[in-house]
Amino acid sequence: MVNSIPMSQPWISEDDIQAVVDVLQTPTLSIGPKVRQFEELIAAYTGTAHAVAVNSGTSGLHLSLAAAGIGQGDEVITSPFSFVASANCAIYQGATPVFADIDARTLNIDAACVREKITDRTRAIIPVDVFGQPAPREAIGEIAHHHDLVLIEDACEAIGAERHGVRTGGGGIQAAVFAFYPNKQMTTGEGGIIVTDDASYAAILRSMANQGRDDAGTWMNHVRLGYNYRLDEMSAALGISQIRRLDEILARRERVASWYGERLCHIPGVEIPYVAPETTRMSWFVYVIRVAGGIDRDTLLARLADDGIPSRPYFVPIHLQPFYRERYGYTEGDFPVTESVARTTLAIPFFTEMTEAQVDRVCDRIAHYVTSC
C-alpha cells in the first residue's frame, strides 16, 4: 500500500501541548487572561492598536461588518475567488455580496474591477489576501476613501505577510481578520482575530463577540445585539505558544515553497505561484499550481490520489456555488478570469514540517503524469 502524504497538518510542539494542559489545570477555561494576552501579542505582531479574539475567521468577518453598521439593502464588494465566508458574511447582515473579478497573476481582486462595481448602495469592500499574498491595499484603499466605504481586509490566509514592507493588518484600514484553523500557518484549533486601530470600533467588536454585553462585560447587561463568538482559554493558550514561533513557522513554509518552485518550474505545462514584486513577504498558506490547457486537471488529481498524494481544486468560484447560483442567478461566464483560473488550479500537499523527500515524491509524480498526457 502506498504511504499517503498529508494534504496539510499543523505543527504542534511539546510547548503547545503544555500550554493547553496548563490552562486545563486552572478553573478558568473561558473569558480569562490567556485570551487577552493572545490579543495583545497579535496586536503587537501586526502593528495595530487593538485585537479582538473570536471563535473563527468567519465570525471575525461577520462582526467586522456588523460593527460597521452594514445592513439590509447595502452592497459589499468582494472577490469570487475565495472561501465562501468572504461573501457569506455580507448576507448574514442582510447585505448583498457583489463580486469583482481578479487579477490573473496574483489571483487577488482587481482594483479596476472593484471601481466598476461601485453603486450608490455600496457600503464596504472586502479584499481577500489569497493564498497568503496581500491584495492591492493602496489602490483599493484609495477607492474606499474616495467613496467613503468601509474597508475590511480578509487576511485569514495571510498572517505575517507584507506588502511594500507593511505587515498585513496595518496600513490604515478599518479592520483585518485572521483565521487559525488547523490548515493555516499557525493554529488555535478553531479561532480567529480582528485587528484595528479604532478604539471605539474595537469596543463594539468586543461587546458583540460577548453576547452584546456592556464594555465592562457585566454578565446580565446586554446593550446591543451580540453573539457567542468568544475564543476559549485553551485555544488562546495554543495561539500564544504558536505566535511566539510564527516567524520560524513562516520561514519553514517558505523553504518548502522554494523546494517546490525549484522542481516544478522545469515541468512543461505546470505554472508555479506568482509572487508580485509588491509582496515583500509571502505568507505561504497553501501551494497552488496551475496546469496548461492541454492537461486535464481533474485527471491529474485522480492519478495523484492513486499514488497517495492528495490535492484539491482551489478555489471553486463562490458565484458558481449552488446556493449563489440559486439565490442570485449567477452562471458560467459572469467572471471569466476567476473561472479560467479555477479550472486550472490545484493545491498540492503543503505543511510546515513537510520534508524535502516528500516534496520530491509529489513533484516526481506530477512530472510523470503531466509529461505522459
> Mind listing the pLDDT tens digit for each residue in 209-222?
999 999 888 889 99
Query: What is the model's pLDDT at position 215?
Result: 83
296 and 155 in one domain?
no
Confidence band for 294, pLDDT divided at 50, 70 and 90: confident
Specify whether 214 is located in the same domain as 94.
Answer: yes
Task: Tell me how far apart the alpha carbons of residues 84 and 319 are, in angstroms, rounded to a whole number.
Answer: 9
Asked if the model's pLDDT at residue 20 lies above 90, the reply is yes
Q: Are residues 56 and 190 in contact, defined by beta-carbon separation less than 8 angstroms?
A: yes
Q: Is the domain of 92 the same as that of 202?
A: yes
pLDDT at 372 over 90: no
Strands 287-291, 279-281: pairing is unpaired
CA distances from 352 to 72, 249, 297 (A): 42, 6, 25
- The domain boundary residue, chosen from 185, 217, 243: 243
> Which DSSP state fits 3?
P
User: Is 2 a domain residue?
Assistant: no
d(CA 66, CA 70): 6
Segment 332-358, tens digit of pLDDT: 999 999 999 999 999 999 999 999 999
Residue 2 has pLDDT above 70, yes or no: no
- Radius of gyration, alpha carbons of the chain: 21
Query: One-letter amino acid identity for 261?
Result: G
Q: How confident is the model at residue 1 (pLDDT cuts 50, 70, 90)?
A: very low
* Residue 9 belongs to some domain of the structure: no
Residues 91 and 203 grouped into a single domain: yes
H/E element holding 289? strand 287-291
Backbone angles phi, psi at 125, to 5 degrees: -130, 135
Can you tell me whether residue 356 is helix, strand or coil?
helix
Q: What percent of the chain has pLDDT over 90?
A: 95
Amino acid occupying residue 139: A
**Domain identity same for 228 and 317:** no
Give per-residue pLDDT as tens, 160-212: 999 999 999 988 799 999 999 999 999 999 999 999 999 999 999 999 999 99
Listed in sequence order, the residues at least 6 apart from 3 whose beta carbon sits closer than 8 Å to its beta carbon are: 308
Determine contact, residues 152/65, Cβ cutoff 8 Å: yes
Domain with 305 in it: what CATH number?
Answer: 3.90.1150.10
Is the sign of the CA dihedral 231, 234, 236, 238 positive or negative? Answer: negative
pLDDT at 315 over 70: yes
Please give the share of the chain, as a percent, with pLDDT higher than 70.
99
Q: Do 114 and 198 belong to one domain?
A: yes
pLDDT at 12: 98
Contacts of 363 (CB under 8 A, 6+ apart): 260, 263, 264, 267
- Angstrom CA distances, 4 to 1, 8, 310, 358, 365, stand at 9, 12, 8, 10, 13
At 371, is the pLDDT very low, low, confident or very high (cuts 50, 70, 90)? confident
Do residues 202 and 263 share a domain?
Answer: no
Domain that holds residue 189: 14-101+108-243
- Cα 219 to Cα 31, 52, 214, 222: the distances in Å are 11, 18, 9, 8
Instruction: Give how many domains the chain has, as a whole number.
Output: 2
Residue 310 covered by a domain: yes
CATH number of 173's domain: 3.40.640.10
Whether the predicted pLDDT of 323 surpasses 80: yes
131 and 20 together in one domain? yes
- Amino acid occupying residue 367: A
Average pLDDT over the chain reads: 97
Regarding whether 353 and 207 lie in a shared domain, the answer is: no
Give tens-digit pLDDT for 32-89: 999 999 999 999 999 999 999 999 999 999 999 999 999 999 999 999 999 999 999 9
This prediction has a pTM of 0.97
Q: What pLDDT, on the 0 to 100 scale, is given for residue 369? A: 94
Residue with cell 501579542: 41
129-134 average pLDDT score: 98
6 falls within a domain: no
Both 21 and 82 in one domain: the answer is yes
* Cα 169 from Cα 161, distance rounded (Å): 9
Q: For residues 153 and 240, give the distance between their C-alpha atoms in angstroms, rounded to a whole number.
A: 23
Domain shared by 32 and 171, yes or no: yes
Annotated catalytic residues are 184
Q: Are residues 149 and 290 in the same domain?
A: no
